[in-house]
């Protein structure tokens, strides 16, 4: 369901900062998108690369963050970066309605999921953009369903 | 963990009741116990207590094992196999000891086969249940893409 958006401005001389309040019937995906637009943290992820540089990535370009042979990588539409940051550190920087940690080794951007399947072994198989395939526990099926319906994963 | 413990307890009670019902059905002339088992235990009271406890053990293993499906990240197939092995390992020795089945290969194999077939049915049911849920995700994803943000 999509809601109409009404924007109002209220002048208040007693304030020493700008306050933005969003009122909605629920914290749906539309609200999440508005919050994301307002929140710098959501738009960029600072990734310490193994070369010692900090690479600033647009979060909407990130497809997945994964761990392989004890090394962590950020895979985005701009390329793959090997990072010195831990999975926890990276996950903490992301807003969790779009990014889902599906295992100890994998964080995915749900907006970059192209299709879902259930493997014969009994795991959720997620095809991501960039011909990437991710396997997750079936326990994440309801979490993903909530996100796609417009709710939050938190 | 609380869920596992609750299931363990529920399975224990359920197993005690069902075990006695099975014994009753297998030997109606001597309610609650097979004649063979009562003879083996020496007296009826001891036989009844041991029989009830062992039946309860089967129930507890089967019910607590259900947590493999929803409390762990094990893939469905592995969860089913582990559950199946757990039940076989507990059920077959208990069934032999209680005299529910005779210690002959065809009876052991038949009982093992019944448990295997039940496990297969559980897997088939759960596999298609999840398959349907996952295919719904694809439809929802399509709808979300079309939704104005």
For B80-115, how does the pLDDT look when each residue is reduced to its tens digit (9 = 90+)? 999 999 999 999 999 888 887 888 999 999 999 999
The verdict on a CB contact (< 8 Å) between A120 and B131 is no
**Residue bearing the bigger pLDDT, A152 or B109:** B109
Instruction: Determine the pLDDT at residue B81.
Output: 96
The verdict on a CB contact (< 8 Å) between A148 and B143 is yes
The verdict on a CB contact (< 8 Å) between A123 and B79 is no
User: Which residues of chain A neighbour B131 with C-beta distances below 8 Å?
Assistant: 118
Q: If you average pLDDT over residues A135-151, what whole number do you get?
A: 87
Instruction: Determine the pLDDT at residue A154.
Output: 45
Interface contact B146, partner A, CB < 8 A = no
**DSSP structure class, residue A127:** E
The verdict on a CB contact (< 8 Å) between B77 and A29 is no
Sheet architecture: strand order including A106-109: A79-83, A71-76, A62-68, A106-109, A99-103
CATH class belonging to A29-112+140-149: mainly beta
Q: What is the domain range of residue B125?
A: 2-146
**Sequence-separated contacts (24+) of B37-40 with Cβ below 8 Å:** B37/B97, B37/B98, B37/B99, B40/B99
Distance from CA of A85 to the nearest CA of B (A): 25
Q: If you average pLDDT over residues B127-131, what whole number do you get?
A: 95
Q: How far apart are CA B108 and CA B119, in angstroms?
A: 17
Instruction: Determine the pLDDT at residue B97.
Output: 86
Complex ipTM value: 0.73
**Residue bearing the bigger pLDDT, B2 or B27:** B2
Q: How does pLDDT run across A32-85, given as a tens digit for each residue?
A: 888 877 765 557 888 888 888 899 888 889 999 999 998 999 999 988 999 999
The verdict on a CB contact (< 8 Å) between B73 and A139 is yes
Q: If you average pLDDT over residues A114-138, what whole number do you get?
A: 93
Lowest mean pLDDT among A23-37, B1-15, B118-132: A23-37
Q: If you average pLDDT over residues A110-115, what whole number do you get?
A: 92
User: Which residues of chain A neighbour B143 with C-beta distances below 8 Å?
Assistant: 148
CB-closest option in A2, A116, A120 to B134: A116
Q: If you average pLDDT over residues B37-48, what whole number do you get?
A: 82
Q: What is the mean pLDDT of chain A?
A: 87
Q: If you average pLDDT over residues B62-68, what whole number do you get?
A: 92
Interface contact B139, partner A, CB < 8 A = no
Number of structural domains found in chain B: 1
């Amino acid at each position: 369901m999509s809601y109409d958006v009404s924007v109002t401005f209220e002048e208040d001389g007693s304030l020493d900062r700008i306050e933005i309040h969003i009122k909605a019937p629920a914290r749906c995906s539309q609200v999440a998108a508005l919050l994301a637009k307002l929140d710098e943290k959501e738009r960029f992820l600072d990734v310490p690369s193994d070369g010692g540089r900090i690479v600033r990535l647009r979060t909407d370009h990130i497809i997945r963050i994964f761990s392989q042979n004890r090394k962590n990588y950020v895979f985005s539409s701009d390329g793959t970066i090997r990072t010195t940051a831990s999975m926890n550190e990276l996950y903490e920087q992301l807003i969790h309605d779009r990014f889902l940690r599906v295992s100890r080794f994998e964080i995915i951007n749900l907006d970059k999921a192209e299709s879902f399947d259930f493997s014969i072994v009994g795991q959720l198989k997620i095809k991501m953009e960039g011909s990437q395939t991710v396997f997750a526990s079936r326990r994440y099926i309801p979490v993903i369903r909530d996100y796609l319906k417009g709710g939050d994963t938190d | 963990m609380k869920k596992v413990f609750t299931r363990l307890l529920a399975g224990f009670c359920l197993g005690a009741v069902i075990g006695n019902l099975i014994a009753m059905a297998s030997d109606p002339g001597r309610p609650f116990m097979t004649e063979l088992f009562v003879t083996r235990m020496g007296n009826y009271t001891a036989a009844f207590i041991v029989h009830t406890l062992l039946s309860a053990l089967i129930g507890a293993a089967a019910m607590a094992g259900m947590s493999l499906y929803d409390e762990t990240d094990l893939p469905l197939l592995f969860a089913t196999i582990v559950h199946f092995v757990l039940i076989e390992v507990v059920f077959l020795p208990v069934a032999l000891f209680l005299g529910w089945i005779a210690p002959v290969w065809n009876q052991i194999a038949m009982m093992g086969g019944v448990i295997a077939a039940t496990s297969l049915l559980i897997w088939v049911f759960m596999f298609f249940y999840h398959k349907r849920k996952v295919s719904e995700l694809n439809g929802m994803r399509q709808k979300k893409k079309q939704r104005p943000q």
